């Protein structure tokens, strides 16, 4: 169960990002675009274009849904957003940098400013919930004593306070999803991307998770949720980005 306490200190504090970029409402330019796509197209090999002339902005502190039929290219678009795939054509700017000109070694630093939640959670089965959630800080070379209390607090906040030392195979779908969300939030990302975050949970849990995302957004993080779940989208008055046959339409 999610606790009805406030946002944990780990996320609440408006600290400067390790890369020097703003993190949180206080330092952020109002409504500046975190991500900008312009005429982006993508094809795999010699196949047809999966994405065509995609143009949109994701403003800071914004909340939007990405939807569309299966095979419309949602996962591919998320991969582009997460710098995991290069576009075949077009311009992508992230945090005011053209990604085509970013050296490969700088990509991890940029990825650290983005949190991602996968539909299949992508938790490491041999690590406990605590270890999985603290992974983003561990890979940054931080000492455990500097983040231990923050991780435990965040786990309690997402309702996993009793599952700290449990391995993922023992967790339920909803618990895995919350662990994956906690991991994505751990290092205070400027944007959170979530791929079907409610796909494996029942409607009450889906509502709770949505509440979690809205709370996060209220704290200043831009949120993009890829989903098929219209009932979920109807609960929030947010921008809808609809992908269909490789083209994107945006309804504010």
Partner 1 sequence: MSAADKTPAQPERKKPADVKTRPHGPIVPSANVQGSALLAVIAIMSFLACLTLGGVSMVRATAASWQSQISREITIQIKPDDNLDMDKALNDARNIASSFVGVTGASIMDKQATSRLLEPWLGASLNIDELPVPRLVIVTIDESAPPDFAALRDALAKKIPQASLDDHRTWVNRLVSMARTTVAIGTGVLVLVFSAMVLTVIFATRGALSGNRHIVEVLHFVGAEASFVANEFQKHFLIISLKGSGAGSALAAIFFLLASWWQSRSLATPASDQATALFGTFSVGWLGYVGIALTMILIAGLTTLTARLTVMRTIYEIDQIRSDPARSDGLNT
Contacting residues toward partner 1, per CB under 8 A: 5, 8-10, 13, 42-45, 47, 50, 71-73, 75-76, 79, 82, 84-88, 104-105, 108-109, 111-112, 116, 122-124, 126-128, 130-131, 135-136, 138-141, 144, 148-150, 152-153, 156, 164-165, 183, 187
Segment (H or E) for 191: strand 191-195
The residue among 189 and 220 lying less far from partner 1, judged by its C-beta, is 189
| Least distance to partner 1, CB of residue 226, Å | 12
Q: Are 80 and 40 in contact (CB under 8 A)?
A: yes
| Least distance to partner 1, CB of residue 30, Å | 26
| Least distance to partner 1, CB of residue 242, Å | 16
CA 104 – CA 108 distance, rounded (Å): 8
| Least distance to partner 1, CB of residue 31, Å | 26
CA 171 – CA 175 distance, rounded (Å): 6
Structure tokens at 223: 């949120």
Picking from 228, 233, 241, the residue whose alpha carbon sits closest to that of residue 213 is: 233
Torsion of CA 133, 134, 135, 141, to 10 degrees: 170
The residue among 62 and 128 lying less far from partner 1, judged by its C-beta, is 128
The residue among 148 and 218 lying less far from partner 1, judged by its C-beta, is 148
């Amino acid at each position: 169960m999610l606790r009805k306490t406030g946002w944990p200190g780990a996320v609440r504090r408006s600290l400067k990002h390790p890369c020097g970029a703003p993190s949180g409402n206080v330092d952020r330019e109002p409504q500046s675009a975190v991500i900008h796509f312009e005429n982006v197209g993508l094809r795999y090999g010699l196949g047809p274009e999966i994405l065509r002339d995609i143009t949109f902005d994701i403003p800071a502190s914004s909340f939007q849904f990405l939807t569309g039929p299966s095979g419309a290219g949602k996962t591919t678009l998320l991969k582009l957003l997460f710098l995991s795939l290069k576009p075949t054509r077009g311009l992508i700017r992230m945090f005011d940098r053209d990604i085509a000109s970013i050296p490969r070694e700088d990509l991890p630093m940029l990825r650290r400013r983005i949190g991602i939640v996968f539909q299949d959670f992508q938790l490491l089965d041999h690590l406990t919930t605590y270890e999985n959630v603290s992974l983003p800080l561990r890979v940054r070379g931080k000492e455990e004593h500097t983040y231990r209390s923050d991780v435990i607090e965040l786990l309690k906040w997402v309702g996993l306070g009793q599952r700290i030392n449990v391995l993922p195979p023992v967790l339920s779908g909803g618990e895995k999803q919350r662990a994956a969300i906690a991991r994505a939030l751990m290092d205070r990302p400027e944007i959170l991307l979530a791929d079907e975050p409610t796909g494996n949970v029942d409607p009450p849990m889906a509502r709770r998770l949505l509440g979690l995302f809205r709370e996060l957004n209220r704290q200043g993080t831009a949120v993009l949720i890829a989903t098929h779940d219209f009932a979920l989208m109807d609960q929030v008055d947010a921008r809808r980005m609809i992908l269909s046959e490789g083209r994107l339409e945006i309804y504010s």
